[in-house]
Structure 1
């Protein structure tokens, strides 16, 4: 019984995106030249922040998730109590600045900013025209934290922060697309809901392609062959997804090709970000 509750609590933390962001942070820490110990601190800090965001999301959305019958939400199905999820969110949130302080003070401040921004998305910004802003701030702050956590807290390069922000903005539009109808049913009207599915796909594509360009041409010196290849792949993937989606629509079929092409470019950006080597 206890194991089942623990598993439900784990699922309520949104483990897939949380672990993905944490893994990227760990790889960035290694690329930035952190020692194993400091890299572990960075990874633990980011993991705590991701758990806090996931749990607070399910705590806040419990009533909405029950209303639309979300079987993937443990609080909505009764697999775990809303109180337990709320307590877990609070403990994780408080742990973020504490663990972050074991790196550098500027680093701790930066990751705390990223956490506060993400929590403000959950309430109240998710329901406003400013819903994209927390994604831009939090994703931009994430690689900045990795650099600021280095001894001496060096200034993060502008191109790195900009690329993170663009990836975050693109991720927001792409992430909301599958849930647009459920969100509208329960009164959520963020920026993607206000501009519609088609405009959101375009926004996601433009932002993520912008991140690819930034990562390819932002670092000092000529762009690497990896950057050029990533840019070419992104430029080909997006139109291919749109064409496949239009062809399916013409045949009267639903298609996720455009959405998947946006996700593919997001993955290209993350790989390019990690493959960029030292960011310090």
Structure 2
């Protein structure tokens, strides 16, 4: 019998050996590392004691793992239908039930670790994590798709500040900057997949706006975050601060100009991406530099 056209089905042994790797890849390791690193660095820069910033980092890590696993487990059927090769659950590298189990376990650990930082800190962080779960389960396909990102990133300065001795309230500008960076992260994350998402019936805010409008809009929250970080703290910006603000704003405006065309290609696409990444990196650096002032 000719079996050349039969789909390859991994053996039970192969599936078992590949499950740990599939589970690790299905958590969205890039965003997990980036967000955990940002929150941990912010906790360190805020002056947290050694044990406290480790606890903050562990709480954020558990929360991000739960969000990533929830996303892949919930979207497994749609990802399989779209034949997305980068999705381990969709291609059968790890079972959907296994990933759901990991997601809920990480969510439980996140709650324990978050509230170990303090009641207010735990409540603030869990609000952000629950918002991210709401994005995965429902809000991704609505005009409010940006809101969980704003809440989630805005909750990170809250977690850091409220975990400090005395549980001080976070500075408004730190929360606002985090929320704006979250909106930018949402736009940048969704932008490459807008057309594919539309074919799959996903109609979040970026999908409704379309790729061209999202490319033009993306620099706006980055410029706004820069302005908040430089002008929000009580100390008046000096000449160097003004220069940084102007430089970052120019990078973002340049990115918006390059991205304004319907389909930027080649070196122009890379230039637009570089300008946007430069603006985002400068904003993160400014946030970390202001770490001691967030509470």
Same fold (TM over 0.5): yes
Q: Which residue of 1 aligns with 2:104?
A: 90
Instruction: Write the mapping of 1:197-208 to structure 2, written as runs, cut at 5 A.
Output: 197-208=211-222
Q: Which residue of 2 aligns with 1:262?
A: 276
- In the alignment, is residue 119 of structure 1 matched against residue 130 of structure 2? no
Match of 2:156 among 135, 138, 142: 142
- In the alignment, is residue 56 of structure 1 matched against residue 101 of structure 2? no
Question: How far apart are the structure 2 equivalents of 1:90 and 1:251?
Answer: 41
- In the alignment, is residue 216 of structure 1 matched against residue 258 of structure 2? no
C-alpha deviation, 1:5, in angstroms: 2.0
Tell me which moved more, 50-59 or 62-71: 62-71
Question: How far apart are the structure 2 equivalents of 1:208 and 1:277?
Answer: 18
- In the alignment, is residue 192 of structure 1 matched against residue 210 of structure 2? no
- In the alignment, is residue 275 of structure 1 matched against residue 289 of structure 2? yes
TM-score between the two structures when normalised by the length of structure 1: 0.93
Cα 1:116/1:101, change in 2 over 3 Å: same
Question: How far apart are the structure 2 equivalents of 1:90 and 1:250?
Answer: 41
Q: Which residue of 2 aligns with 1:18?
A: 32
Match of 1:106 among 95, 117, 120: 120
Q: How many residues align?
A: 280
Instruction: Write the mapping of 1:236-251 to structure 2, written as runs, cut at 5 A.
Output: 236-245=250-259
**Unmatched runs of 5 consecutive residues or more in structure 1:** none
Cα 1:20/1:231, change in 2 over 3 Å: same
C-alpha deviation, 1:202, in angstroms: 2.7
Answer yes or no: is the 8 Å Cα contact 2:39–2:56 preserved in 1: yes
Provide the alpha-carbon RMSD of the alignment: 2.2
Question: How far apart are the structure 2 equivalents of 1:19 and 1:38?
Answer: 19
Cα 1:70/1:165, change in 2 over 3 Å: same
Cα distance per residue 1:223-244 (max 9 Å; x no partner): 2566434322221212333444
Answer yes or no: is the 8 Å Cα contact 2:216–2:256 preserved in 1: no
C-alpha deviation, 1:76, in angstroms: 1.3
Instruction: Write the mapping of 1:65-84 to structure 2, written as runs, cut at 5 A.
Output: 65-84=79-98
TM-score between the two structures when normalised by the length of structure 2: 0.89
Question: How far apart are the structure 2 equivalents of 1:251 and 1:19?
Answer: 29
